[in-house]
Amino acid sequence: MWSSGRRALQDLMLHQQTAVRSFSLSPAQNTVIVERWWQVPLSKEGRPPRLHPRRHRIYKLVEDTKQAPKQKMELILTATVPKLGVRGDTVFVRKSAGRNKLLPQGLAVYPSPENKHMFEEEIKLLREGKPEERVQTRSGQLTVEILKKSHLNISRMPLEEFQVNKEVVCRQFKKKLGVFVPPHALSLSFESVKEEGDYWCEVTVNGMDIVRVPLSVVPYEDPSAIYQKQLKARIAQAAADAAAAAAEDEEAAVNLVDEAAVKLVSDAPVEEAAVKLVSDAAVEEAAVKLVSDAAVEAETAKDSVGEAAAGVSAAEEEKAASTPTSPDTTAPPSDSPKKD
């Protein structure tokens, strides 16, 4: 057992050793505090008090610190710890957890004035430092990840003075996605819009990273429970109809597609049929969009037909589907597939 304290020190003085930090479990404190039963008579100044060998040795237990409630210890984290926090947080943990896990593994440090000063400097650097030197915080990184995958849908209210501007978008971010975006961190591609469609906006996280979030203004849906129930019933009914109709029209659609492949012009009937099939299977909004898209892009009719056919086959697969499958032909430049 050469690692007992004193011998270890002597060995150390002779030759160097490498060190490994590790702690063990720490149970409650146990310091006994006693007081005398009998008072000791006051002695003259400068002289020690005279103690009776028996009477003044009779003690009464005042406090056993092991009975006291366990206090938590304060530490500053240096790395992200699950359930506790991120780097720079001051947390209160149980003494056992702190001494066994956090401190030996270097995940936290004591809150001494020097350490606190160092972390304050880090925060200051984050706020006021040059853009190259600043490092994104962990919460900032997570926010960026969430924003990359999100898609903001704003319902177009049936009001005359409805318009989508910066404040509206900020509020919608907070309500729909739960992300607080102050107006100065948001930049829109437009001043204000009233029509339905797809747009995009840019969000600056912590003044460092900019994320492009696709934005779409969708037709108004009554959020009340009754209307939603009716809508659901309607969709289910439509899906059931489409299951029957799609089987018959599959052949017809394939034939039409072949014709379109041969003929470069006059895709109107094909498109109409395709549109009809899609609208039977999908939600109204998507159909309207497709019609509008097809109407706008007559040149890329072939593409739209191909997509409509693809849409048809997709709709056939999702017979009871209620999710809209709207191929974004006028898709805004989005970073990644939209959120479900």
Q: How far is the CB of 90 from other proteins (least distance, A)?
A: 14
Task: List the one residue from 52, 83, 84, 104 that touches other proteins (CB under 8 A).
Answer: 104
With beta carbons less than 8 A apart as the criterion, state whether 338 and 212 touch: no
Retrieve residue 247's tokens: 């089987």
Residue 83 in the binding site for other proteins (CB under 8 A): no
CA 43, 44, 45, 46: dihedral to nearest 10 degrees? -90
Q: Residue 92 interacts with other proteins (CB under 8 A)?
A: no
Closest CA to 280 of 327, 233, 228, 316: 316
Please work out the total of residues on this chain that contact other proteins, with binding judged by CB under 8 A.
Answer: 54
Is 20 a residue that touches other proteins (CB under 8 A)? yes
Select from 14, 22, 251, 295 the one that contacts other proteins (CB under 8 A): 22
Stretch that binds other proteins, among 59-67, 79-87, 145-153, 258-266 (CB under 8 A): 59-67
Residue 65 to residues 24, 62, 70: CA-CA distances in angstroms? 21, 10, 9
Instruction: Tell me the two tokens of residue 307.
Output: 């997509």
Q: Assign 165 to helix, strand or coil.
A: coil
The reply to whether 19 sits near other proteins by the rule CB under 8 A is yes
Mode of pairing for the β-strands spanning 152-155 and 108-109: unpaired
Query: Which value, to the nearest 10 degrees, does the dihedral of the CA atoms of residues 34, 39, 41, 46 take?
Result: 20
60 binds other proteins (CB under 8 A): yes
49 near other proteins, judged by CB under 8 A: yes
Task: For the CB of residue 52, give the shortest distance to other proteins in the complex, in Å.
Answer: 12
Does 36 interact with other proteins (rule: CB under 8 A)? Answer: yes
Chosen residue from 79, 84, 86, 99 binding other proteins by CB under 8 A: 99
Does residue 264 interact with other proteins by CB under 8 A? no
Residue 43 within binding range of other proteins, rule CB under 8 A: yes
Q: How far is Cα 87 from Cα 123, in angstroms, rounded to an integer? A: 11
Counting contacts by CB under 8 A, is residue 23 touching other proteins? Answer: yes
Furthest C-alpha separation in the chain: 122
State yes or no: residue 130 binds other proteins (CB under 8 A): no
Work out the burial of residue 278: count CB atoms within 10 Å of its CB; fewer than 13 is exposed, 13-18 middle, 19 or more buried: buried
Which of these ranges, 43-51, 213-221, 252-260, 296-304, lies near other proteins under the rule CB under 8 A? 43-51
- Asked if 42 touches other proteins (CB under 8 A), the answer is yes
User: Which window, 35-43, 165-173, 221-229, 241-249, contacts other proteins (CB under 8 A)?
Assistant: 35-43
Q: Of residues 34, 125, 236, 247, which one binds other proteins by CB under 8 A?
A: 34
CA-to-CA distance for 121 and 43, rounded, in angstroms?
56
Strands 209-218 and 152-155 come out as parallel
Strands 72-77 and 90-94: antiparallel
Task: Give the interface segment with other proteins, choosing from 19-27, 132-140, 143-151, 253-261 (CB under 8 A).
Answer: 19-27
Q: Are 316 and 281 in contact (CB under 8 A)?
A: yes
Q: Which residues bind other proteins (CB under 8 A)?
A: 3-6, 8-9, 12-13, 16-24, 26-37, 40, 42-43, 49, 51, 54, 56-62, 65-66, 73, 95, 98-99, 104, 110-112, 114-115
